[in-house]
Amino acid sequence: MSDQPQSVTADVFYFSPPEDGSKPYTDINADPLVGKRRNNWNPELHSVEVENLRGKEDSVTLDTAGFQFGHEAAAHKTFTSDAAIEAEYYPESIELVKKITGASRAVVFDHTIRRRRPGEIDDSPQKRQPVPLAHVDQTTASAIARVHRHLPPAEAPALLQRRFQIINLWRPISHPAYDWPLALCDYRSVDPKTDLVATDLIYPDRKGETNSVKFNPNHKWKYLRGMTPEEFVFIKCFDSKTEDNTAVLTPHTAFQDPSTPKDAPFRESIELRLLVFYD
């Protein structure tokens, strides 16, 4: 499409480590009244180029870049009730992931709906917004912990012997996501040894661990401009397969796109997180 920019320049928030050398953490509920986060580390803003893959959707795959676009509408359309999402959208998404990846089993372990609300600081679970911070949802340790948490104890050890992944299924809701789209960083441009820093994620009742991302000028950011609800992206957050140059993960972030049409409605999206197993 000729009226599409080939790439845009955008600000991306990266991570810079705590000055005192302590392990970084993000307390996601430091102020339960407004769900305000607290960190012991500093965000660092960098201007980056984000390539628009519109028309080149097939140039990236889960195993090469760490993310993959698809075009398939969901049968579930409303996304207004968690119970209906679990009853309807979870099962069709499991089938979609298995069909496209060839996995033998996929287990959804949560979902998040995001709606941008300018000026709103409440970040409690029902009011999540786009995340303007480069990150990977899990570390290796927290990916393995997810298997133990969500699969029967009798099955987890055997499942961990074979290939497994964590994949997020992300799609816009109700209208195209021109506003605050999602940028994804090609795994081939990431140096996992230098760019990723394990960061505690402190929930009210437990501790998780995510990977924060340090700036690296080699990073190649990409997005699909104007993604529609009929489109989706698989975001790989973890893969136990490391040989054959397999992409193991994908840093990602929401960003303000300077090419967003002035009248574009605020972004609405849903992401499902799945444990994905192979025979």
Q: What radius of gyration, in Å, describes the C-alpha atoms of the chain?
A: 18
**Tokens encoding 257:** 């796109």
Q: Is 131 in the site for ligand OGA (CB under 6 A)?
A: yes
Question: Is 170 one of the binding residues for ligand OGA (CB under 6 A)?
Answer: yes
Distance CA 138, CA 157 (A): 19
Please tell me whether residue 179 binds Fe ion under the rule CB under 5 A. Answer: no
**For Fe ion, the closer CB: 137 or 239:** 137
CA 96-102-103 angle, 5° bins: 85
- CB closer to ligand OGA, 199 vs 269: 269
Amino acid of residue 200? D
Indicate which single residue of 271, 274, 275, 276 sits in contact with ligand OGA (rule: CB under 6 A): 271
If you write DSSP's letter for every residue of 31-65 in order, what string do you get? ETTTTEEEESSEEEEEEEEEEE-TT-GGG--TTTT
Candidates 14, 101, 111, 137; binder of Fe ion (CB under 5 A) is 137
In the chain the first and final C-alpha atoms are separated, in Å, by: 41
**Which listed option, Fe ion, ligand OGA, none, makes contact with residue 210 (CB within 5 to 8 Å by class)?**
none
Pick the piece of the chain touching ligand OGA (CB under 6 A) from 19-27, 102-110, 130-138, 194-202.
Answer: 130-138
The nearer residue to ligand OGA, 68 or 269, going by C-beta atoms, is 269
What is the number of the residue whose Cβ is closest to Fe ion? 137
Q: How far, CA to CA in Å, does 108 sit from each of 30, 93, 105, 255, 273? A: 27, 9, 10, 26, 6
171 binds ligand OGA (CB under 6 A): no
Of the pair 159, 201, the CB lying nearest Fe ion is at: 201
Nearest to Fe ion of 137, 257 (CB atom): 137
Selected from 8, 53, 185, 254, the binder of ligand OGA by CB under 6 A is 254
Does residue 212 belong to the site contacting ligand OGA (CB under 6 A)?
no
Question: Distance between CA atoms of 90 and 97, rounded to whole angstroms?
Answer: 11
- Provide the residue type at 28 as one letter: I
Q: Is 209 in the site for Fe ion (CB under 5 A)?
A: no
- Contact between residue 224 and residue 7 where contact means Cβ atoms under 8 Å apart: no
Cα distance between residue 139 and residue 72, in whole Å: 30
Q: Which one, 13 or 277, has the nearer CB to ligand OGA?
A: 13
Planar angle of CA 45, 216, 132, nearest 5 degrees: 35
Q: Give the span between the Cα atoms of 43 and 219, in whole angstroms.
A: 17
| Site track 134-163 with ligand OGA (rule: CB under 6 A), x = hit | ---x--------------------------
26 part of the interface to ligand OGA, by CB under 6 A: no
List residues near ligand OGA by CB under 6 A.
Answer: 114, 130-131, 137, 168, 170, 182, 235, 252, 254, 269, 271
List residues near Fe ion by CB under 5 A.
Answer: 137
